[in-house]
Structure 1
């Protein structure tokens, strides 16, 4: 298909989304007094008209709960907003970021129906994105700018069997980018944003016409973001991002070559207790005392650089037989530094020397830090601690991460008038290395690598091979009123590890090799949807999912080769409708989450404790969601969603505690407790008005009370955060022709003590606050 036809098709789809009205079971929403939330149209965004059909944002025709964001909702947010933040108003989704741009990745979190972001499958244009782990994986904001996003859809209960992932217990998220627009002329977009905390962001995208008649089309985009930290004034956050795609259309399909590059740097931010008080105080000023200055903000930094290269194809060999494939290669590199008090470094050094006497591979400056008596014994204070008499030069922990991930997905389809059969698979290999040495510093404050390090917390090397196969058959019966889906996937995850797993291994000069292979070759999924009347259908889905044991289970202080992989069984039922200017759905769900794996560890950032991974029982989840959108008049949209989620532990378990005489088994009474960071009630509203030139948008989210710990003793109060924006857009000509200016306000009511991200643990959690009111002004042009 010619590039101009592609541009027309994309434009038609996007205009259709904007002009059609959508919202959930209007009658139920009116009775409930709620103006429903959005769940919106998807498009594959590919160049082939056969795959450009607009799919409903509430998943019309799907056999599972599906919701998506619209182009309107994307445009309503400040340019460059974190892509995951766009999902915050969808039912069942709890997204928290330290700022709208998600610049501090360690302060961001997401949960869907009680499952964490590391238990959700994520793809971008069909490419599997690793977990949201900021070390091994990466948040979606590293891979796409929101200006390049066509849509984002969430299958909250279970992803389709075609979804490539080895940890998708709790659903799937599919992000789709806007491909090269093509056409007969050059086109593009540019935006500039300024705002609170010295935020400056620049974005540029340029689309080419056909390079020659019948030739390829392409786009390049780049962004640069610089900002500060609201509660740590001298600290900065930086991100540079680049994307490009080249697409060549053929008579039978197309090929797309893409490259994404992202480079970011940030400073760690302070963490808080559940009551909003400061838990980890990072200092803004140097004192001259290395013991105190180990907590200076310059001693806590992170950097990440990611490069993702891909080649995908979509071909229809006949009217009924098609092939899709994507090959990809990703290279990761990251670093992190953390200050360590000299007294702590000395203790680590002494432990290593005691563990392996006479070793010469480590070195510490000024080891005599403590007061000793005439017999050479340490003098202790009233609390039994050694008395520091001399503070030596600073020490600093360095962390270096690198990874190479490569894989391929492929799917062959055969479609007739009433049946579509899909057979496909995914293979990936991933090598990931992570090293954490502790160094002395030179007189100028740099890492002193001219002498051996003090200790090495760990030296980890992982190799992961993933194989997934699936088959799916879709039947359309009764004049397409009834859709039946039958599918199954098989998954094998083979992990190998070698290296120094922790400080205990380092002290005893031990290197270990461990391996764990998890597999389940039959994970069935059965679903159905039935049209009751035009625009209204019921749906039901049953799916079984499987998640491999986490990589760090191989490095645990007590490695358990018999640890079972986690599993989930999900049942979804519901009704959805689209009627003129409103649409929406109601869904009920039940999830059995089995063989839950937890790590018993110390969250203190200065301590790298031995971790113990174990299966500790099951979780039962029941819930309901109502969502929809209403367009009462031209230019208006009003949406809302209401979620009820009850996730509870079904079992007690035994945990490990060191009482001073050794590690002991201790009963942890978790049965009946709520799963941490899983609010029972979430309610969101959004809406907008758009006139000929002026426009306004708003959204608000109520997040019910949560717990930060398994024992449910560390409670977080409910929060209500509202955002809004107003602006002016020019026409084709005249004042601000082709331009758009917008003023956006986040945390409109300045809730400066509200808890945002929650990072759970057994007895207490770690928390980040929602940033106080932030204001951003942006100017953008389409050309």
Structure 2
């Protein structure tokens, strides 16, 4: 593609973005009801626009940013009976496709993903209260959704204070937590369903304790389930404890503290290669072996499992400053600990254990000031220390035994890593007039890549990681990587101009960042060390070819809000460069990770709702996405992969969604239909995956004020209502161009019921 032609879409979009000149007049913008209810929310850091009553399930925001939100009521419905998988909350959002190998959306390793505008979830920022303390590896389901008050997903451009974390080129999802209730009460929920699903949840709220201004809550949940095929749990054993306390003061200050501990364990589903996926009888039968089979002991289901314990603490301290200012500090700490058991290569009779221990600590400090009725400023700083990030610090290989035991074989990986550091100041300025709101900001994304030191493992015994150092393992001189600091400026600018009272033009631009993925590069080098050393190539030289992925994103749309109909059509353009990809290196004769690719995403999307009657509302989303590589990809050694114009793997071009929210008397019904267009599993678009249509049904019957019970609900969810047989999740990503992708069958019809009561 000619260089001038590549730039034209970006230049044209920028021209539209800056075409409208704001006219400044008296401010007529007010805060919406959801914001004014939370007295501690930073009211100056977002563009809030008055809106009529929103849909109960999912709705696009009226802000210029392409962000969709789910209310508390929508979370209860879309979250289903499991109420732990936040990805399910995106079921009615445009340009978002969520897949899982399990009917309940449960899996720890390789069994679930989310795709936003064609990009996978590796670069998706996941935050709670704006804090990025979800794990990079292992469990991300820290909070029961019964404890979540709201959910939002930025699909593209975003303000400087959103999407904090190690990466956000895919987008950013954020959950706000449900605060302690002002009134004492209890909520219990009991669910059961297909494949021995059983879940119990209970929450107690203290209410406001006298005149102290103190309130707290505590909740516990326990869930079990079986896999829908094969043997084991999906993971089906999850125990969660969550607590929160809030203290208000007479001067308007408030302190909140949340703590959570989550345990989850279970077994994996076995993926298929493309040849196996062409045999439809495999889709609902192919899995790990139920029994120990001679010659294939490594394929026993209990040699393919995970076990994780996660603990996190988050505080929020806010203090009014004068009449128009607010200072807030959000310190946090998290610990992600557990292990994976898996077979690293189906042709070898080995079982590998990957022990994971990540710790994160940091804080976000922010000052919000309303300078005038027309001008708001938000300035902040995010700092985080993360240990130990990927790649794996250590792994061990074992030989499986016919009795189900494991005999130590060798250390597969042994290393030491320093901390991964983030220092990000940010600033956002918003100006409002009678018809126009313009907001701009910038974030300096500074991250310090850790040092990596690998050790020779020959002859080392089977002892703990802490004990192995008493045996004085020797350094591997070829696998030593120095620390490196990267700095990227991430600007943003948005505009909302009201053409009339019910119609507004919106446009937004922002630059986003995705951290370099040194994990696969290090693992690939370790597995092919001899080939690299033979060419005198060190791990440091490989890492020198890695740098953060940068994307420039532009959205231009309309927001129509009528009495019955709401519409949010949107056009977007995204240019990604320095994309990290794995390409074949002719010199080394193995695949090598290098930051050399470019990709362009161009798409249109439409989402909205229509209120047919006072009891029936439809919610819809339709999107078309062309996310393809820009040019062929050439390795440092000269090898060329013909990727120009090829759709990125696992990126459907067409997505369509329709949901109905019907209420009649005590009944609430929400059928949801989704269409996923064709996809490809490989970079060259030779492994085609057919399109499919799915339907789910959620039913609720409500009783109110029955004796001591305030609310009593009986609900039922039927997932994959018509029992569609299809290929759902694809393991392929836009990073690895050479690895053979794997495929998972979608789960069959799954039915679950829940009884809940609030006292």
Give me the TM-score of the superposition, normalised by structure 1.
0.80
| Corresponding position: 1:144 with 2:147 | no
Cα deviation for residue 99 of structure 1 reads 3.1
Cα deviation for residue 563 of structure 1 reads 2.7
2:361: which partner in 1?
Answer: 406
Q: Secondary structure at the match of 2:705?
A: coil
Mapped partners of 1:61, 1:303: distance in 2: 42
Mapped partners of 1:397, 1:171: distance in 2: 33
| Corresponding position: 1:469 with 2:429 | no
- 8 Å CA contact 1:42–1:54 kept in 2: the answer is no
Cα deviation for residue 711 of structure 1 reads 1.1
- 8 Å CA contact 2:82–2:104 kept in 1: the answer is yes
1:80: which partner in 2?
Answer: 82
Q: 1:758 to 1:49 in 2, by over 3 A?
A: closer
Q: Secondary structure at the match of 1:772?
A: coil
| Corresponding position: 1:596 with 2:579 | yes
1:112: which partner in 2?
Answer: 116
| Corresponding position: 1:697 with 2:670 | yes
**Match among 440, 454, 466 for residue 486 of structure 1:** 440
Show the 5 A alignment for 1:647-662.
Answer: 647-654=627-634
2:689: which partner in 1?
Answer: 716
Mapped partners of 1:271, 1:253: distance in 2: 52
Cα deviation for residue 108 of structure 1 reads 0.5
Residues 256-278 of structure 1 show CA distances to partners (whole Å, capped at 9, x for unaligned) of: 11101111101111112454544
Mapped partners of 1:496, 1:161: distance in 2: 25
**Match among 552, 573, 577 for residue 519 of structure 2:** 552
- 8 Å CA contact 1:273–1:766 kept in 2: the answer is yes
- 8 Å CA contact 1:436–1:459 kept in 2: the answer is no
Show the 5 A alignment for 1:297-312.
Answer: 297-312=301-316
**Match among 494, 513, 524 for residue 527 of structure 1:** 494
| Corresponding position: 1:767 with 2:743 | yes
Q: Secondary structure at the match of 2:323?
A: coil
Give me the TM-score of the superposition, normalised by structure 2.
0.82
- 8 Å CA contact 2:502–2:560 kept in 1: the answer is yes
2:504: which partner in 1?
Answer: 537
| Corresponding position: 1:211 with 2:209 | yes
Residues 584-624 of structure 1 show CA distances to partners (whole Å, capped at 9, x for unaligned) of: 2111110001111023599xxxxxx9862102321011111
Q: Secondary structure at the match of 2:508?
A: strand
- 8 Å CA contact 1:321–1:412 kept in 2: the answer is yes
Mapped partners of 1:572, 1:503: distance in 2: 51
Cα deviation for residue 189 of structure 1 reads 1.4
Q: 1:441 to 1:460 in 2, by over 3 A?
A: farther
Bigger drift between 631-640 and 227-236 goes to 227-236
Q: 1:49 to 1:107 in 2, by over 3 A?
A: closer
1:99: which partner in 2?
Answer: 102
Mapped partners of 1:476, 1:273: distance in 2: 54
- 8 Å CA contact 2:729–2:745 kept in 1: the answer is yes
Cα deviation for residue 212 of structure 1 reads 3.2
Q: Secondary structure at the match of 1:165?
A: coil
- Equivalenced residue count is 668
**Match among 328, 331, 353 for residue 332 of structure 2:** 328
- 8 Å CA contact 2:103–2:748 kept in 1: the answer is no
2:398: which partner in 1?
Answer: 439
1:673: which partner in 2?
Answer: 646
- 8 Å CA contact 1:179–1:245 kept in 2: the answer is yes
Q: Secondary structure at the match of 1:73?
A: helix
Mapped partners of 1:665, 1:505: distance in 2: 39
Mapped partners of 1:41, 1:650: distance in 2: 44
| Corresponding position: 1:317 with 2:330 | no
Cα deviation for residue 176 of structure 1 reads 1.2
Residues 630-676 of structure 1 show CA distances to partners (whole Å, capped at 9, x for unaligned) of: 222222221111011111101212469xxxxxxx8642111110011
Mapped partners of 1:203, 1:54: distance in 2: 36
| Corresponding position: 1:781 with 2:757 | yes
Cα deviation for residue 129 of structure 1 reads 3.6
Cα deviation for residue 204 of structure 1 reads 0.8
2:528: which partner in 1?
Answer: none
Q: 1:46 to 1:126 in 2, by over 3 A?
A: farther
Cα deviation for residue 157 of structure 1 reads 0.9
- 8 Å CA contact 1:647–1:678 kept in 2: the answer is yes
Q: 1:623 to 1:723 in 2, by over 3 A?
A: same
Mapped partners of 1:180, 1:323: distance in 2: 22
Mapped partners of 2:569, 2:143: distance in 1: 31
1:166: which partner in 2?
Answer: 166
Mapped partners of 1:59, 1:103: distance in 2: 27
Show the 5 A alignment for 1:721-732.
Answer: 721-732=694-705
Mapped partners of 1:64, 1:343: distance in 2: 49
Mapped partners of 1:314, 1:292: distance in 2: 58
Q: Secondary structure at the match of 1:679?
A: coil
Cα deviation for residue 750 of structure 1 reads 0.3
Q: 1:601 to 1:493 in 2, by over 3 A?
A: farther
Residues 437-468 of structure 1 show CA distances to partners (whole Å, capped at 9, x for unaligned) of: 1235789654457xxx4242444535200111
Cα deviation for residue 508 of structure 1 reads 9.8
Mapped partners of 1:65, 1:300: distance in 2: 39
Bigger CA radius of gyration: 1
1:269: which partner in 2?
Answer: 269
Mapped partners of 1:192, 1:538: distance in 2: 46
* RMSD of aligned residue pairs (Cα, Å): 3.1
Bigger drift between 730-739 and 165-174 goes to 730-739
Bigger drift between 756-765 and 706-715 goes to 756-765
2:716: which partner in 1?
Answer: 743
**Match among 552, 555, 559 for residue 569 of structure 1:** 552
**Match among 587, 595, 598 for residue 618 of structure 1:** 598
Structure 1 gap segments, 5+ residues each: 1-39, 346-394, 603-608, 657-663
Mapped partners of 2:266, 2:117: distance in 1: 30
2:238: which partner in 1?
Answer: 239
Mapped partners of 2:400, 2:182: distance in 1: 54
Q: Secondary structure at the match of 1:780?
A: strand
- 8 Å CA contact 1:166–1:491 kept in 2: the answer is no
| Corresponding position: 1:224 with 2:228 | no
**Match among 634, 638, 655 for residue 614 of structure 2:** 634
- 8 Å CA contact 2:730–2:741 kept in 1: the answer is no
Q: Secondary structure at the match of 1:560?
A: helix
Residues 69-121 of structure 1 show CA distances to partners (whole Å, capped at 9, x for unaligned) of: 23343232423331111112100111112335432132110111122212122
Structure 2 gap segments, 5+ residues each: 1-31, 461-472, 526-538
Mapped partners of 1:489, 1:255: distance in 2: 27
**Match among 373, 383, 395 for residue 417 of structure 1:** 373
Cα deviation for residue 171 of structure 1 reads 2.2
1:351: which partner in 2?
Answer: none
Cα deviation for residue 310 of structure 1 reads 1.3
- 8 Å CA contact 1:292–1:341 kept in 2: the answer is no
Mapped partners of 2:516, 2:421: distance in 1: 13
**Match among 579, 584, 593 for residue 567 of structure 2:** 584
**Match among 474, 478, 482 for residue 515 of structure 1:** 482
Q: Secondary structure at the match of 1:616?
A: strand
Residues 140-162 of structure 1 show CA distances to partners (whole Å, capped at 9, x for unaligned) of: xx222122222211121123211
Cα deviation for residue 42 of structure 1 reads 5.8
**Match among 286, 289, 292 for residue 283 of structure 1:** 289
Mapped partners of 1:438, 1:412: distance in 2: 51
Cα deviation for residue 502 of structure 1 reads 9.6
Show the 5 A alignment for 1:4-83.
Answer: 43=35, 46-48=38-40, 51=43, 62-77=63-78, 78-81=80-83, 82-83=85-86
Q: Secondary structure at the match of 2:543?
A: coil
